[in-house]
Amino acid sequence: MNDLIRSLVEAFGPSGFEDAVRDLIRPLVEPHADEVSVDAMGNLIVRKRAAGENPLKVMIAAHMDEIGVMATHVTAEGFLRFTNIGGVGPHTLLGGRVRFADGTLGVIGADRNDDRSAIHPLSKHFIDVGATSRDDCPVRVGDAAHFERPFVAQGHRLTAKSMDDRIGCVVAIEALRRLPATVPHDLYFVFSVQEEVGTRGAEAAANRILPDVGIALDVTLTGDVPEARSMSVRLGDGPAIKVRDSGMIAHTGLVRLMRQRAEEAGITHQMEVLDGGSTDARPMQVAGPGCAAGCISIPCRYVHTPSETVDARDVEGAVQLLVAVLSNPIEL
Amino acid sequence: METFDLLKRLTETPGPSGNEAAVAAVVEELWRPLVDETAIDRVGSLAATKRGAGPEPRPTILLAAHQDELGLMVTRIVDQHGQGFLRLTNLGGVDRRHLLGQTAVVHGREALTGVLGGLPDSLLPEKARGQAYSYDNLVLDVGLPTERLRELVSVGDFVSFRQPLRRLHNGRVTGKALDNRASLAAVTICLERLQGRRHTWDVVAVATVQEETAYIGAYTSGYAHQPDVAVAIDVAHAKGPGANDSELSELGGGPLLGMGAEIHPAVYNALRDAAKALEMSVGVEPNATGRGTDAYALQTARAGIPTGLMLIPLRYMHTMVETADLNDIERAGRLLAELIARLDDTFLPDLREELMRPDKRKDDSQ
């Protein structure tokens, strides 16, 4: 699975600019789908039809976009001022590298800072692409960049700049490959856009699909590093079944079903209560007349930094759990 | 049923946001004899439909009162020398100052009653003294050893507060979850009164879910039932010691009518006219920017729903001693019934007129 992970996590895809990621995923899923389409927002919707009568519509969402930056101003000397795309912390910037869609590499510098203990706000950082003036700068206002960092696999631990949420895309692709030829539900795998800027892609897709059941695949935080927040999720303890995050409370029946399937299949798993952040499950929950929404989370350390780290065993467990949920009856 | 008994049953049933099934069951039992059909939807909202006497197709008014209450959720199970303790987080806008010393129930494999405890103030680090307990130093203690606790409880289990409804003097009652079971009681009273009253519109009364966290039930019910008019029923801060000086929100002073960005003037006026017909005094709750009740989500459901808001005065909101006046609850129920009985086939055509030419109102008594 590492080759698949590497190709996806290193691809360019800040929110709103997911084309390259979509182009990678589409040929991988087409052999396993009855129908593949792209909607007006850019969501890749992969449909696998049910075998039986009156099937449930199940939407599975993993977002293709990643956090990044966008140029807002080019100075006369050719430096770029920029804004954030999604939740970018100023403490993750200085000395980092970014890459624009055309391949231009930039390094991030900051205005003079005499107080070494203070972190400049994002607005006092700039990007240096080697230009000497506005005229020879290859970057225009509005161009987006992602953080540049190679994929690293070290034992079970996998580190990359965009585990959030390419690892969810990997889980979805891998589940599509492993699902039996006939499934009891109408499955809509949505590789969504613009999650990091307010779960916008999934909102549009869910309002089109009007699912009965919605399952997001996304990363969650952990409580297993020094001085961590009080949270029970640990890297390597298996996929996490979300009960609540700050955007939604998962459908209690769906949570129960996921636990049951995990136990039946002997999949090590953990329960997740997250105090910050939300996922594509949130817009699915309130789409149309509402749906039973939940999320299978992949525990991830250092979320929204260029070194997001997951455990390969948790990824494998998430695939198994998703396959177990989708290939069996869903009674809520 | 006496209003106190009705309210006692409703408030003492546990229903933290996201886990409202027990309340929905009680509400269904209360409403089923009063309506034509009841159904619980995918997100857990209970909808009760009472068909009107008018010719088809009939317009629909939706009443939305949320059934969820504030609660807690288990985040970790910690061990201290073999004894197990539960760490928690909030569901909805819990005020941490009120947690220490409360009794609460964790809904694990079985319901376990425990106490919310912590170190006495004098043993806390100096800077933590005199402060509200943070979730880092508050525990739910059900008295079980860790091993047994882990068998019965897991991370993500819901926790509800336990507090009986009690009578104070002067028709006042106090307990937990009056926000918003007081409104469910009012809707119940409304449906009872409609038994003897002709109404031409269909009525869909909904006990919505997850209002305290994200208005989930209002979004989804507004879409599902596509009503012509909606009224959210909720609670408002009543005047009391230290509370604002609003002269309009008095405990025992009658329900309040919401006014502001999310309120359709015609629905507001219809509520006011219904109060006039009953010679009932009502206050006004101005809220320029909106948010805070199901009205927020109902207004923009589907192609937009003309929405009104009725509020029951409440002291000490979001605590375990929320205090309301039984008279206000009964009045709210009567006012809703009056509103519904007065809806006729001129209401919807006039409603558009209302927005376009508010100064041309026919029977404005100002």
Asked whether the beta carbons of A83 and A69 are under 8 A apart, the reply is yes
CA atoms within 13 A on the CB side of A224: 15
Rounded distance between C-alpha atoms, residue A221 and residue A67, angstroms: 16
Residue B171 resides in a domain: no
Which positions in chain B touch A285 (Cβ < 8 Å)? 43, 216
B156–A247: do the CB atoms touch at under 8 Å?
Answer: no
Nearest to A307 by CA among A225, A241, A238: A225
SS3 state at A56: coil
Concatenate the DSSP letters of all residues of B101-125 into one string. T-EEEEESSSEEEEEEE---GGGS-
- Given a cut of 70, whether residue A324 has pLDDT beyond it is yes
Query: B146 has which bridge partners?
Result: none
Rounded distance between C-alpha atoms, residue B115 and residue B139, angstroms: 8
Complex-level ipTM: 0.88
A286–B216: do the CB atoms touch at under 8 Å?
Answer: yes
Query: B30 and B19 in one domain?
Result: yes
What is the average per-residue pLDDT within B64-69? 98
pLDDT tens digits for A118-142?
999 999 999 999 999 999 999 999 9
Per-residue pLDDT, B129: 87
Split at pLDDT 50, 70, 90, the class of A31 is very high
Which residues are CB-neighbours of B326 under 8 A, at least 6 positions away? B3, B4, B7, B171, B172, B173
Query: B207 and B90 in one domain?
Result: no
Structure tokens at A303: 């979320």
Q: Which residues of A are catalytic?
A: 195
In this structure, whether the domain defined by A68-147 belongs to CATH 1.20.120.550 is answered with no
Rounded distance between C-alpha atoms, residue B365 and residue A43, angstroms: 55
Asked whether the beta carbons of A231 and A222 are under 8 A apart, the reply is yes
Split at pLDDT 50, 70, 90, the class of B155 is very high
Residue B203 resides in a domain: yes
A198-A4-A278 Cα angle (round to 5): 20
Query: B355 and B262 in one domain?
Result: yes
Which residues are CB-neighbours of A198 under 8 A, at least 6 positions away? none
Residue bearing the bigger pLDDT, B340 or A116: B340
Which positions in chain A touch B156 (Cβ < 8 Å)? 241, 243-244, 255, 271-273
Residue B33 resides in a domain: yes
Rounded distance between C-alpha atoms, residue A277 and residue B265, angstroms: 37
Least confident piece of the model among A137-146, B93-102, B241-250, B346-355: B241-250
> Least CA distance to B92: which residue of chain A?
A246
pLDDT tens digits for A170-196?
999 999 999 999 999 999 999 999 999
What is the average per-residue pLDDT within A232-252? 97
Asked whether the beta carbons of B34 and B195 are under 8 A apart, the reply is yes
Query: B99 and B198 in one domain?
Result: no
Residue B93 resides in a domain: yes
Query: B76 and B55 in one domain?
Result: no
Nearest to B262 by CA among B217, B302, B230, B221: B230
Domain of B348, CATH number, reads 3.40.630.10
Query: B42 and B114 in one domain?
Result: no
Split at pLDDT 50, 70, 90, the class of B246 is low
Return mean pLDDT, chain A.
97
What's the Cα-to-Cα distance from A262 to each of A182, A215, A271, rounded to whole Å? 21, 15, 11
Nearest to A88 by CA among A57, A58, A67: A67
Residue B106 resides in a domain: yes
Return mean pLDDT, chain B.
93
Rounded distance between C-alpha atoms, residue A270 and residue A259, angstroms: 9
Least confident piece of the model among A164-178, B31-45, B344-358: B344-358
Nearest to B30 by CA among B9, B44, B14: B9
Which positions in chain A touch B21 (Cβ < 8 Å)? 252
What is the average per-residue pLDDT within B44-52? 98
Asked whether the beta carbons of B12 and B165 are under 8 A apart, the reply is yes
Query: How big is chain A by its Cα radius of gyration, in Å?
Result: 20
Residue B168 resides in a domain: no
What domain range includes position B344?
3-69+176-360
Asked whether the beta carbons of A201 and A283 are under 8 A apart, the reply is no
How far is CA A245 from its chain centroid?
Answer: 15
pLDDT tens digits for A259-318?
999 999 999 999 999 998 999 999 999 999 999 999 999 999 999 999 999 999 999 999
What's the Cα-to-Cα distance from B72 to each of A230, A250, B45, B161, rounded to whole Å? 15, 15, 20, 8
Q: How far apart are the first and last CA of chain A?
A: 32
Query: B245 and B234 in one domain?
Result: yes
Q: Where are the domains of chain A?
A: 2-66+161-326, 68-147
Query: B231 and B99 in one domain?
Result: no
Query: B342 and B275 in one domain?
Result: yes
Residue B254 resides in a domain: yes
A contact test, residue of B43, B139, B298 with most A CBs within 10 A: B43
B contact test, residue of A222, A273, A282 with most B CBs within 10 A: A273
Which residues are CB-neighbours of A211 under 8 A, at least 6 positions away? A57, A58, A59, A188, A284, A287, A291
Q: How many CB atoms are located within 10 Å of the residue A309 CB?
A: 21
Q: Shortest Cα distance from A69 to chain B (angstroms)?
A: 30
Rounded distance between C-alpha atoms, residue B137 and residue A297, angstroms: 27
Per-residue pLDDT, B351: 86
Which residues are CB-neighbours of A322 under 8 A, at least 6 positions away? A60, A171, A172, A175, A215, A217, A296
Query: B327 and B216 in one domain?
Result: yes
- For A114-163, strand residue ranges (E) read 125-128, 144-147, 152-154, 157-160
Q: Shortest Cα distance from A313 to chain B (angstroms)?
A: 21
| pLDDT-above-90 percentage for chain B | 82
Per-residue pLDDT, A178: 98
Which positions in chain A touch B91 (Cβ < 8 Å)? 244, 249
* pTM: predicted TM-score of the whole model, two decimal places: 0.92
Last residue of a domain, one of B161, B188, B204: B161
Query: B323 and B203 in one domain?
Result: yes
Rounded distance between C-alpha atoms, residue B274 and residue B342, angstroms: 7
Domain of B105, CATH number, reads 2.40.30.40
Which residue is it, tokens 């409360």? B102
Total domains in chain B come to 2
Topology given in CATH for the domain delimited by A2-66+161-326: Aminopeptidase (3.40.630)
Last residue of a domain, one of B161, B191, B225: B161
Which residues are CB-neighbours of B197 under 8 A, at least 6 positions away? B337, B340, B341
Split at pLDDT 50, 70, 90, the class of B362 is low
Residue B366 resides in a domain: no
The amino acid present at B322, given as its one-letter code, is E
Rounded distance between C-alpha atoms, residue A167 and residue A178, angstroms: 16
Query: B212 and B327 in one domain?
Result: yes
Concatenate the DSSP letters of all residues of A132-144 into one string. SSSTT----TT-E
